[in-house]
Amino acid sequence: MSETNDTFTVACVQNRADDTDRGLDECETLAREARERGAQLICTPEFCHRLHVDADGLSAGAAAESAHPALARLSALAAELGAWLLVGSLAVRDADGRQRNRSLLLDDRGNVVARYEKIHMFDVNLGAGETYRESDSFEPGDRSVVADTPFARLGMTVCYDVRFAALYRALAQAGAQVLTVPAAFTHTTGKAHWHVLLRARAIETGSYVVAPAQYGVHGKARTYGHSLVVDPWGEIVAEAGEAAAVITATIDVSRVAAARSRIPSLEHDRPYAMPAGTG
């Protein structure tokens, strides 16, 4: 890993993707604004290119990574801006036809330096006819990822992963200092759970949490927005509302070590027997 400075500027882009190229156009405009505001790492939401939900399910503009039009545009954008870019996720089609919800980290020349495929599928029934079955369209990943950057070590996750605390603990114990949670959180669950889940993941691991999110209506779905940056003590240091936005924050990597020194819970795991009937 490259030697890091103590501080850098991160940005969350909050756009709304639908079934046109409008979402990606907005994403590019906001990313340029983020760079003008000094962002060295710019993060976009889950399915930042396209997100539409109708009676036939989820549509996200899947294509092979090597030929993905959104990735080509975003790679060129990273090179143009001279900034690192977290592509929150794109729908990527494998050679066998299966779709993956893939987050990609691009360096400041537009090269893909890390890939993470969302592990936990959003299969829920929220009531009042609001049902989602991500596994109907996507294959889950099976590997956690910590990526090196010149600024910090990133633990890469996507959206619904945030409900699985063990994943974040493992990433922190593997050296992640900043946890990325690009999302298209539903408005229903966002109002109830978004802030508390992200703050909990920061507190439990003594990490920064960077969570760029989509906002608005996507056919039958509505997303919550409220992109967040949370510090290692669990305090919200930047937050968007429910419209197009760019938020920026200064990440002080030394605060990660300080928080983990004050409460060294990552070092305190103990073996224990599982409850009877488990397994």
User: What ranges do the domains of the chain cover?
Assistant: 7-265
159 is an active site residue:
yes
- Catalytic, out of 28, 46, 117, 134: 46
- CA gap 132, 105 in Å, rounded: 27
118 is an active site residue:
yes
Per-residue CA distances from 241 to 106, 144, 227, 232 (Å):
26, 30, 7, 22
- CA gap 136, 155 in Å, rounded: 26
Architecture of domain 7-265: 4-Layer Sandwich (3.60)
Asked if 8 and 152 count as a contact pair (C-beta separation under 8 A), the reply is: yes
- Token pair recorded at residue 175: 């050296």
- Catalytic, out of 12, 27, 43, 159: 159
12 is an active site residue:
no
What does pTM read for this prediction?
Answer: 0.96
Give pLDDT, residue 1: 40
- CA gap 106, 104 in Å, rounded: 6
Q: Is 36 exposed, middle or buried (0-12, 13-18, 19+ CB in 10 A)?
A: exposed
End-to-end CA distance of the chain: 39
Asked if 186 and 199 count as a contact pair (C-beta separation under 8 A), the reply is: no
Per-residue pLDDT of the chain (279 residues; tens, 9 = 90+): 444 579 999 999 999 999 888 999 999 999 999 999 999 999 999 999 999 999 888 889 999 999 999 999 999 999 999 999 999 999 999 988 889 999 999 999 999 999 999 999 999 999 998 999 999 999 999 999 999 999 999 999 999 999 999 999 999 999 999 999 999 999 999 999 999 999 999 999 999 999 999 999 999 999 999 999 999 999 999 999 999 999 999 999 999 999 999 999 999 999 999 998 876
- Catalytic, out of 12, 48, 118, 134: 118
